A and B are shown apart, each in its own frame.
Chain A
Amino acid sequence: KAGVTQTPRYLIKTRGQQVTLSCSPISGHRSVSWYQQTPGQGLQFLFEYFSETQRNKGNFPGRFSGRQFSNSRSEMNVSTLELGDSALYLCASSPRGGPDNEQFFGPGTRLTVL
C-alpha cells in the first residue's frame, strides 16, 4: 500500500506571496492532519480534516487554511507569507478517529520564505 505523499517537496517563496501544499493520504484513510515543524517550536498541530470537514484547528492565524476533497486528498494554503512561516509542513493520515488509531506522516514539504 502506498504511503502518504506530499507535493511539492521543496518550495521557495518571498514574503507576501501565498502557497498551496498538497497531501494524498494512504488509500482508505479519511483523516488528514497538518503540522508545522520548526527548530524553535517543534511539531505543532495546524488542523485536521475528516470526511471533508475541518474537525480540529490549532492556534495558528487565519492565514493558514485548508480543505479536503471527496477523495480524501487535502490541501493547505498559507496566504501573505511571513519569514516565520519557513518550516517543514507535514501531513499525517489516519483511517478514522478513536484511541486505537494510528497516524502516519508523509515526507513533508519544506517551505523557505525569503
Chain B
Amino acid sequence: QKEVEQNSGPLSVPEGAIASLNCTYSDRGSQSFFWYRQYSGKSPELIMFIYSNGDKEDGRFTAQLNKASQYVSLLIRDSQPSDSATYLCAVRRPGGGNKLTFGTGTQLKVEL
C-alpha cells in the first residue's frame, strides 16, 4: 500500500463547476496535510495545508480532513481553465521534521 494515494486522473470538470480531489494516506499518525498545484514545467505551489479535522477554506479552495477515515480532499469552487494543473497531496508524519511524502498527483482539466 502506498503511503499517499491519489487518483491520477485526468479529472475533467466544466468551467464553473466544483472540482473534488481526493487523497488517502496509510499512516494514522500523520500530522499535517498539504495540497500543492503544479503546472507543467513549473515547481509545486502551495495552495493550503490542514492539520485539524474538519474544513479549512481559503477563497475558492476548501480542504477537508477526516483523520478517522485517513482521508483528505480539496474542493475547488467555480473552477476556471487556469486551474488546469496537477494537484499534489502531501503528508507530514510525526518525528519526520519537515519531510513531506507526496502522492503521485491528480491531473485536473477544466473545460470551457
Give the A-B pair count, Cβ closer than 8 A.
63
CA distance A42 to B102 in the complex (A): 8
CA distance A108 to B43 in the complex (A): 6
A90-B43, A90-B44, A108-B43 are known contacts. Are A102 and B101 too (CB-CB below 8 A)?
no
Range, interface on chain B: 20 to 34
> Which of A43, A48, A90, A106 sits near B98, CB closer than 8 Å?
A48
A42-B102, A43-B88, A100-B32 are known contacts. Are A105 and B97 too (CB-CB below 8 A)?
no
Number of interface residues of A (CB under 8 A): 27
A31 proximal to B (CB < 8 A): yes
Of A11-19, A67-75, A78-86, A91-99, the one contacting chain B is A91-99
A24 proximal to B (CB < 8 A): no
Verify A45–B32 contact, CB threshold 8 A.
no
1/0 contact string of A20-57 vs chain B (CB within 8 Å):
00000000000101010000001111001010000110
Verify B43–A107 contact, CB threshold 8 A.
yes
Verify B99–A45 contact, CB threshold 8 A.
yes
> Which of A56, A105, A106, A107 sits near B99, CB closer than 8 Å?
A56
Q: Show 18 A/B contacts (Cβ-Cβ < 8 Å), sorted by A.
A: A33-B99, A35-B100, A42-B103, A42-B104, A43-B90, A48-B98, A50-B97, A56-B97, A56-B99, A92-B98, A97-B97, A99-B32, A99-B51, A99-B92, A100-B32, A103-B98, A105-B46, A107-B43
B residues neighboring A (CB under 8 Å): 31-32, 34, 36, 42-46, 49, 51, 88, 90, 92, 96-105
